[in-house]
Structure formats: C-alpha cells, structure tokens
Structure 1
Amino acid sequence: MSSADTRAVQLQREGQVAYRNKDYTKAIKLFSQALEIPRTTTAMQLHILDNRAAAKEKVGNEVSLKGALADARQMIKLQKTYVNGYLRTGKILQLQGCHQNALNLYKYGLEKLEPSDENGKELLEKMYEKVHARVEPPKAKMVDMMTVLPVELLDMIIQYIPFPSLILAQGVSKSWRNFLINSSKTYVELDFSSAKKPLSRSTVMLAAQRTQNNVRKAVFNRLEFRGVQPLIHLATLNPGLTELQLLGYEQPLPVVDIVKHTENLRKLIIKSAVRTQVISQILAQCRSLECFECFDVDHMGFRGWTFENKSNLKRLYLRIVKEEYQPSDQMLPALVAHLPELRELEVSEYGPRQTDQLDLTAAPHLTVLRLRKVAITVLPLLPRTIKHLTLARLPNLSIVPDDILKSPLPALQELDLSYNPNIRKNTLLLLLDSVSPRKLVLDMCPRLDFGTVDWLLPCGSKLEELSVVGNSTFGDSVSKEMAGFKMLKRLDIGNTKITGIGLLNLIRMSQKEGSGGGLQYVGCDMCEGVGHDAVHVARKMGVVVSHRMLTEYGGKKVRYSE
C-alpha cells in the first residue's frame, strides 16, 4: 500500500469512529481530508466518497442531501461498474422524493454492471422492484359498471347506443346480457339493416317479445321467411311504433296486412316490389302516415285508383321501375289530389313519355318537388308554394314561355335543372323572373353559355350555392365577374376549363368583394388545369377544396383524391 493510501486509510478509520459516535460533522471533515490526499487509488476514493455521502445523508437537511447526492454521483462517474454508487445514489434520490429518477438510475445501473457481477445485479433488481411497487399504484380490480351504476343512469346511456352495438354488448357478460334483455330502452329501435345473415322467423318473434311495448322504430332487412305474421305480431305489441322500414326484398310483401295493425305509424319505407293498388290501400288504411317512400313501384293499375278519404301524408317518394303497362298520364295529379297536406313529392324513373301537362296545383302546401328521369315533355303546372324544385335528367323536357307564365314561383329558393340538354339561357331567366334563389344547380347543361355570367347576375343577389359541373364554356375569364355573386359560399366547377390561376382569382375576388365572407367551398374535381400547388394555396386561404381526378396507370383506371 502506498504512503498516500496509508494516510487516507488512517483518516478514513478516524472518520468511521466519529460516524459510529454520531459525530457526523467531524466524520465529514475527516473524510474530506482523506479525499484531499493526492495520488490515492480509485478504489480508496470510492470507499471514502461512500462514507462521506453516508455521513451527509445522516445530517438530513436539504444542503447535506445535495452534497451526499453529489458524492454518490461522483462514485458513478469514477467507476460505472461500481454497484455501491448506484445503490447510494438511488437511496438519496428516494430521500429527496425523486422515486422515478431512482427507478431510472437502477435500470441504467443494471445495463452498466459487469455481466459477471451477479450479486450486484441482484441487489439492484431488488431495489428496482421495491421502488417500482411504491411508485406504481396497485392495479384496481375490474368493476362491472352494470352492477355499480344506478339503473336510471344506465337507461339514459343506452338511449345513445345504436341497436347493433347493444346486441353485441349482450355477449360481454351474463350481467350485461340480463340487464340489456330486461331494459325497457334496449329495444326502442330495432335496426336490422346491417344484418349479415337473413333474419329468421324466430329472431323477429324473440325481438318482438323483448320489446316491452316500447318500439318506436323498426328496420328489417333480408327476412328469410315469406309470411308477415312475426311483423304483425310486432306491430300489435307496440302501438307506439312510428317508423317501419322493409328493405331488400325481391318479392312483394303483403305490407297492407302489417300496417293494418299499426296505430301511430308516421314513416314507412319499402324497398321491395309494390303495386300501385297496394299504395292506395296503405294510404287508406294508415291514416297517421306522414312519410311514405317506395323504391320499386310497378305502375300496373294506375287507372283503377280509388280513394275513399283524404290522406294526411306530407312526404311521398316513388321510384317507378317497371314499364310493362302503360300508365295513365293523370296518375300523379290523381294521387296529389288525394294528398292535400303533401309538402314533399319526389318521383324518379316514371315511365313512358308523358305528352300531357302534369297538373300538380291540387297540392296547396307543396314546397318540395323533385322529378328525376321522368319522361315528361312539358313543364308541369306547379303551385306557387314551391320552394325547392328539381327537374333533373329529363331529356325530353322542352320548356316554353307560356308554360312558365302559367306557373309563377315567387317562393323559389332552390332550383336544380342538371342534365337537361334543352335548357337555354332565356328559359332559365324566365323561370327566375323576379326571383333570387339561394341554390342553383346547372350541371351538364350544354346549351348554357358560361363564357360570361353577366346575364345571371340580376338573379344572383341571394345566391349562396352554384354548380355548373361539366360546362365546357366556364373558364378563367369569368373569375372577376363571379365576384358579382356577393353571397356565394359554395361553388362546384368540376370538369370545366378552370385553371389553378383562375381558381385562386375566384377565391381572392370573392373574399375581397363578397359581403357574405367569400367562398367557403370549391369543387374542382376532374379539372385538368388545376394543379396540386393551387389547391394547396386555396386551402391555406381557408377554403375547402375538392380535387378528385381520374388517372390511368398501366391500362387500369385509378381514382385518387386529396
């Protein structure tokens, strides 16, 4: 042993005696003197630092603990494989309340110790587990909320959970199943629209038994049985049923037998083959019906319609798809005449060409009329109450001034004339005479010239939405003129000649000149002249931009959007 180590050992022993006598101040002084001796070995310095850190730790005040921590860290700095350095540092960190730091230090020490130091690793692992148990709270035992929460609160929660999710939740546990089956809120809405398998008779009967007479809405899809007795049973047990949807049936259903047993049905949607006689019978049987939608109407027998009483129906949608029989030109007028409370009428794919003018003025409260793919050749006679008018995809329609003058529309707010090849500028202006609509859809109307929009500005003082998709004359030249529509918020110019520069000019001018805050949405799908950079800049300006394109790669068409 060198003379330096001999002198250091002597001072260390004197310090240890003072430590045992609880004279920590003297012990710290002696240990400090030992550390000041030059040329002592690293092992000697480690032992003395450990002794001095222990003495400072015993003093216990904040300053002493900081000094003890400094000595302990110096031990790790001198030799990273010295286990006492990690043990001492971790202990002091715990005294300071830094338990997470102590955990991290023990983990670091386990990585730095020599692989052969099994005893040191065992000590660090024990300390790590001890501190981890103190820091990490014990895992609480899982509690089934169905057994804890008040029934009233659970019933409130169930009202906001979709019916398919409630069915799946019955498989969570026995307590969940028992509660959900017996809850009066579970079967308020029977929604089998997403059923993966055809619904069996027993499934419908079981659901009917569990409803507790509380069903308000029922949706059935893919019934595997032909009879309607289970549905009749459901309707009988639930007098509060207000909405019924029968979806996805190829064969006609005896719907009349079902609605006979409903007392308060307000909405009926049928997506199966329905003959017109059935429609008249439903309207006669179900006096409370307000919304009726049929998606597969066979117009055989229109001429034989009879109505004993007026109906309270407010919305009617008919999609007429079979054309084996020649319908009467007066089918719609006859129907409307028996629906004095009708507010919305929507008809699509209505059969052979109608040469007579449809008279719909018998509906004094009609505000929404949508005719799509209806083979009419002249403008119908319309009530003055119309606010939303759609005459779309009517290739045979030819509108003449006399017909327009017969049906003034002072309340018109929305007009859709898309996909009509015969619509001209003068016709449109006459339709909009003394009217400023809020929404105007003129998609794929090739006879309308949008090389300039000055002609439309007098009708656009209140225009908020405009769509001219597919118009080959719309381009950058009208960017400045478009600012004349000062209330415009949504503009769809997809598949036109607009470029990126024109798009940005449109937005800038609308934000500068518009009194409604400028454009909020622009649709420019299939616009080859609009690049990604322009779209990015437009979005930076606070405008929502739709820019979908169709590109070909290797003979395959790939659709992408951004």
Structure 2
Amino acid sequence: MLKRKAVTDSSSSKRQAKTTAISSSSTEPWELVLNDGKEAIKEKDFKRAVSLFTRALELKPNHATVLEYRAASYEKLDQLNLALQDATTMIRHDPTSARGYLRAGKILSLQKKHKSAVTIYKRGLKNISVHDARYQQIKDMLAAAERILHPSPTHDPMRYLPYDIMSTIFSMLSFERRIQCTSVSQSWRSFALSWPGMWRDLDFSDKKISVATIKKYLGHAKGRHVRRLSVRSVARNKLDKILQLLIDEDCQYLNILELSDCEIPVTTFLRLLRLIGKHITYMNLDYATLTMDAIVRQVIPRCPKLTHLTVNGVPDIADITKQAYTTADNDVELHQLTHVRIVMNDVNNIKWLLRKCPKLELLDIKSEDVRFNDIAETVIHESLNSMRKFRFSRAILDSSTIWPAAGVDSWVSKTNHRPSDTSDGLEAFYIVSDPSFTGSMLRGIVQRSFRTLKQLVLRDCRSVGDSLAHLATSPGLPCLEKLECGQMEEDDIRTILTACPTLQDVTIGFTIGMTDNAMSDLAANVKKLKRLDITGCPHVTGVGLEKVVKAHRSTLEKVNISQCFRISVDAIEWATSVLGKRVLEANFNTRSF
C-alpha cells in the first residue's frame, strides 16, 4: 500500500513539473524578468529590482507596467528624478492612462513641487475618461495638492483682539504655558516678551532650571515686573547665584518668595531681604536650612509687609520664649502675620506665637509633642477672636492645608484685607489625630463660633463622644457645609444630619453608626450634597446608597463607598450608571470587617 502511494506521488510531481515547463515555455522572457523584479520588491531589494526592470525594458521597451514598477523602486531608493523620468515616459506613451499621472504627481509632491503636481493632475483629468476607476483618485490628489499650495488663511488673534483681552488671556496661563506660547509665531513671541505680566510669576518649583535661563528671564522682565519667584530643592551655590540675580536686577516689587527644601545661603538671603524685601507678603521656607530662631529674629523683621508665612520642617528651638531677643515685646514684631503654617514641638513656643500674632486669620500648626489640650485655653479664649480658620494636627506627615496655594493675583492681592461681605468669626476648625481633644473643648469652640462655622473636621478624635450631636441641636450649626467625623452612634449621626441641612461635604468613615437609616436622613434633610465619603461603614447597603443617589444625583461630585462590603455589585453598577465612573469610587482590596 505504501509502495503504491509513493508511485502516485511521483507521478503527480512529474505532471506538475511538466505543466510548469509548458507554462514557462508560453511566457515571454520580459515577463519572466518582470516577475523576478516583483520578487525582489517583496524582499525589499530595490537595487536588484531596478536592475531587473531595466533588463525587462530592454526586452520590452516603454512598457507601462514595467515603467511603473521601476519608478516605484527608484522612489524607494530616493532617486526621485529617475522615478519622475519613468512616470513622464508612461504619460508620453499612454496619455489616457491614469497610472502615469498619479505616479508623476506623487513624486512631484515628494519633491515639494506642488505647483507642478497640480499641473500634472489637471492634465490627467483632461486626458482620461471620467468613467476611469482612478479618475476620482486623481481629483482627490489634486485637491490635496491645492490645499498645500494655497492653504486657507489663518486668523492670528494678535492682529484682531485688543491688547486688554490678550493680556487677560495670557494672565490665565501658567508661566510654563506662557513660555510655550513664545514658540507659536513671531507675533505671539513679540507680545509675550513685551507684555509686563509675562514675568510676574516665575515658578520653577516643578522642574530644574539653569541659572543662565533664570538670568535670561530676569533680563526680559527688567526686574520691576517680577512678583513671584518659586524654586524647589536647590543647592546652596546655585541658590546663592539666583538670589544675587534678584539683587542685581533690582526685583524690588517681589511679593512672593518660595524657597522650599533649599539650602539657603544666609548672608546673601538676608542681604536680599534688606534690599528688596519691603514688598514681600508671602514666604515659603518649608524644609529650608534655617532655624526658627533665624526666621523670627532676622527674616521677619526685614519683611515689614509679610502676612503669609509657611515654615514646615524648619528646626524648632527648645523654648523660643527664653531667647534674649524676646524679653521685650518690641524686640520681635509679628503683629503683621495673618496666615501661618508651621511645625512647633514646644507648647511655650506655640503660646508665644499666638500672643505675638494677634491678627492671625488662618493658622495651621503641626506638632508631635504638643496636645491641643495644652493650648486649648489660649486658643479658645484669646486667639479665636480674630481667627477665621484653625487647624491643629499631630500627624507631621499630613501635608494638607486649609488655604489654597499662593498665587500672585489670587492670594496676595485679595487676602491682605478681609472682604467686607464676610462676617467675623471662625469659619473652619480642624483637629487631626489628637485623642486629647474632648467634647468640652468642642463645646467651647462651637458656642463661640456656631453662627459662622462652615467647616468642622474631627479626624481620629475618639474622645468627643455625643457632644457634637448635642451641639448640632443647641446652639446649632446653621452654616455648616463640611463635616468630617467618625466613631459615633447611629442616633448621634442621624441627629447631626437632621439638624444640619446646609451640609455639602460629609465624611463619616469606619463606623458602625452609619446605617441605611442615616443615609435616609442624609437624602431627606440635606439640601445640596456634593461630596460623600462613607469608607469602611459595614452597615450601609445598596438601599441606603440608592436613596442618597436619587435625592442628590444632580449635585453629587464625589461618592466614596470603598470597603462597604454590604453594598452589592448590582447597586454599585446602578449608581455608576447614574453618577458616572468619575464620581463613584468603590475599592474593595482588603476586608476590614
């Protein structure tokens, strides 16, 4: 059987060889060479392909197909003049065929000769039939070439918009975007370099930049236009050169100076402040190589208009009240400070700061060693008279703040004076990670500020008990918009949510007191809920989530139900379909209950 199969296969091979021989004998020699050239193109051996097509043309002169293949090979070899010659020959010998015009037009476009390409395409449309399959293709190529040759006119806004409008548009861009705008066109560059606001905000905090580049920018600014300089993580030698540039360019109207995480050359820095520090209103020295002693005794006195001071991570001396320069009240002037963010680990230092800054409106204190109980009497009975926002945290790594980052226009120009339409009184009170904070302390805060309090954050404060629920009803919190708390009973949470219809931002996490009944109160009583975080609440189900989503679907901006394991997948999918993926956050990585 195997022998018979072998004989059959042998006979088949002989018949195939015989058929191939007959086929080869019927093919003309130039066609064989043409086929070899096609194989060379498949192998991307274009030099060999050109040689084979040339040989084929010797056997079959001026054949259109061979000419087209050779022109394509020349094009791959970037020999465009030779490719154009073959395309021209195709047109000359067959003027009614579209192939020559398409090939010639393409090559002329590659040579950037768009006018000649347009001429070729128009000539082709005149000579070939409108019924030709490639007629429309030539029309499309003609339109593309004409668009390149005659581009539509552009409208440069610099030529039409008034100066004031362009100035307003540029003022809304970041400094980096403004620099990018100088590369758009000559008119944009001319406007940017001459516009005074271009160099007001020199913010280099997000990237490393050379001293030469800063020198060039300051040269354009001519010193007087600079209002802000922000750098981060700069070594001593480089920062010394930058500060000297500010002195040399006479940047005497500097309002904001941010030198976070920098090695500050004290001599040059103090000289800078002495010469051009009279207009500085905001200073950020976070994690700078300065001591609190130097900041209080040498830096602040050289900046008489300084109102905003940030000095997180600066070494704190043991007891600032025992220093010689603080024996007399006139020795240290801090009365101008209104916004302070600071790390202090000595209770006497904090009390001294509160006494020395009677005009404080916003205060953010971080301390590992001091408890709020140690300074409660000073804060409640003395400092809250003028303060609008207070934040005390025992978590040093907690970097959040209760006021926005500084900006030339948004902070310095608008916060030197309290708006006339803002009522006096505490608006925001934050306590973070302090078990010593008790209900009686909260009562002292709320009773003094319940008419103005809008933000109340009690994060990781386990000693408050049911005081907040009682205070929500008497004296009440009629303006409360943001609430963050935890570890409360269900009745207390429901009382708060019922008594505070003005709430917009609610965070009650990791507590068994947050239930579907509390969610129902949130849906029924709160008027305009924007943000809700109930992370880790084990008794909330899809029923409670559904009530809140239906009641506040038009206003909700963020909902976090992570680790709420009783909320079913179906409920999450429904809420996502109603609110959107960006609004609903639901992560279930580990089970906490």
**Fold conserved (TM > 0.5)?**
yes
Instruction: Write out per-residue CA displacement over residues 271-296 of structure 1, whole angstroms, 9 at most, x where no aligned residue.
Output: 22342223323332212122222221
Q: Which of the numbers 502, 525, 536 marks the counterpart of 1:462? A: 502
- Where does residue 412 of structure 2 map in the other structure? none
Q: Is the 8 A contact 2:236 2:263 kept in 1?
A: no
Residue 336 of structure 1 pairs with residue 354 of structure 2: yes
For these two proteins, the number of residue pairs brought into alignment is 418
Q: Any residues of structure 2 matched to 1:49-448 within 5 Å, and which?
A: 125=134, 129=138, 133=142, 137-139=146-148, 140=150, 152=163, 157-170=169-182, 180-195=192-207, 197=208, 199-212=209-222, 213-226=224-237, 227-228=239-240, 230-234=242-246, 237-249=250-262, 255-260=269-274, 261-273=276-288, 274-280=290-296, 281-300=298-317, 301-303=319-321, 304=323, 306=326, 308=330, 309-320=333-344, 327=346, 329-353=347-371, 356-358=374-376, 359-360=378-379, 361-362=382-383, 364-373=385-394, 385-400=425-440, 404=444, 408-410=448-450, 411-426=452-467, 429-430=470-471, 433-436=474-477, 437-443=479-485, 445-446=486-487, 448=488
Instruction: Write out per-residue CA displacement over residues 22-61 of structure 1, whole angstroms, 9 at most, x where no aligned residue.
Output: xxxxxxxxxxxxxxxxxxxxxxxxxxxxxxxxxxxxxxxx
Residue 551 of structure 1 pairs with residue 569 of structure 2: no
Q: Is the 8 A contact 1:388 1:412 kept in 2?
A: yes
CA distance in 1, matches of 2:490, 2:228: 48
Query: What's the CA shift for 1:526?
Result: 2.4
Q: Percent identity?
A: 16
- Give the partner amino acid of 1:421: R
Looking at CA atoms only, which structure, 1 or 2, has the larger radius of gyration?
1
Secondary structure of the residue aligned to 1:391 is strand
CA distance in 2, matches of 1:191, 1:430: 45
Instruction: Write out per-residue CA displacement over residues 188-243 of structure 1, whole angstroms, 9 at most, x where no aligned residue.
Output: 21111221x3x444333333222122112221123244353532542662333222
Instruction: Write out per-residue CA displacement over residues 456-476 of structure 1, whole angstroms, 9 at most, x where no aligned residue.
Output: 356424333321111133222
- Give the partner amino acid of 2:343: R
Instruction: Write out per-residue CA displacement over residues 309-328 of structure 1, whole angstroms, 9 at most, x where no aligned residue.
Output: 453222111134xx6xxx2x
CA distance in 2, matches of 1:424, 1:496: 18
Aligned pair in 2 of structure 1 residues 495, 150: CA closer, same or farther (>3 Å)?
A: closer
CA distance in 1, matches of 2:469, 2:491: 16
- Give the partner amino acid of 1:426: S
Aligned pair in 2 of structure 1 residues 413, 402: CA closer, same or farther (>3 Å)?
A: closer
Aligned pair in 2 of structure 1 residues 350, 283: CA closer, same or farther (>3 Å)?
A: farther
Secondary structure of the residue aligned to 1:390 is strand
Query: What's the CA shift for 1:479?
Result: 3.6
Instruction: Write out per-residue CA displacement over residues 154-194 of structure 1, whole angstroms, 9 at most, x where no aligned residue.
Output: 65554343222333455667886676445534322111122
Query: What's the CA shift for 1:549?
Result: 0.6
Mean CA deviation greater in 477-486 or 526-535: 477-486
TM-score (norm 2): 0.59
Aligned pair in 2 of structure 1 residues 520, 194: CA closer, same or farther (>3 Å)?
A: closer
Aligned pair in 2 of structure 1 residues 311, 232: CA closer, same or farther (>3 Å)?
A: farther
CA distance in 2, matches of 1:457, 1:354: 27
CA distance in 2, matches of 1:239, 1:461: 50
Q: Is the 8 A contact 2:372 2:434 kept in 1?
A: no
- Where does residue 58 of structure 2 map in the other structure? none
Secondary structure of the residue aligned to 2:456 is strand
Q: Gapped runs of 5+ residues in structure 2?
A: 1-95, 99-123, 397-423
Residue 491 of structure 1 pairs with residue 532 of structure 2: yes
CA distance in 1, matches of 2:175, 2:259: 17
Secondary structure of the residue aligned to 2:215 is helix
- Give the partner amino acid of 1:267: Y
Q: Could you say which structure has the higher strand fraction?
A: 1
Q: Gapped runs of 5+ residues in structure 1?
A: 1-83, 87-109, 111-117, 376-383, 558-562
Query: What's the CA shift for 1:496?
Result: 0.7
Secondary structure of the residue aligned to 2:589 is strand
Q: Which of the numbers 472, 475, 490 marks the counterpart of 2:515? A: 475
- Where does residue 103 of structure 1 map in the other structure? none
Query: What's the CA shift for 1:362?
Result: 4.1
- Give the partner amino acid of 2:546: L
Mean CA deviation greater in 288-297 or 166-175: 166-175
Aligned pair in 2 of structure 1 residues 184, 526: CA closer, same or farther (>3 Å)?
A: same
CA distance in 2, matches of 1:519, 1:119: 65
CA distance in 2, matches of 1:353, 1:130: 81
CA distance in 1, matches of 2:281, 2:562: 40
CA distance in 2, matches of 1:161, 1:401: 45
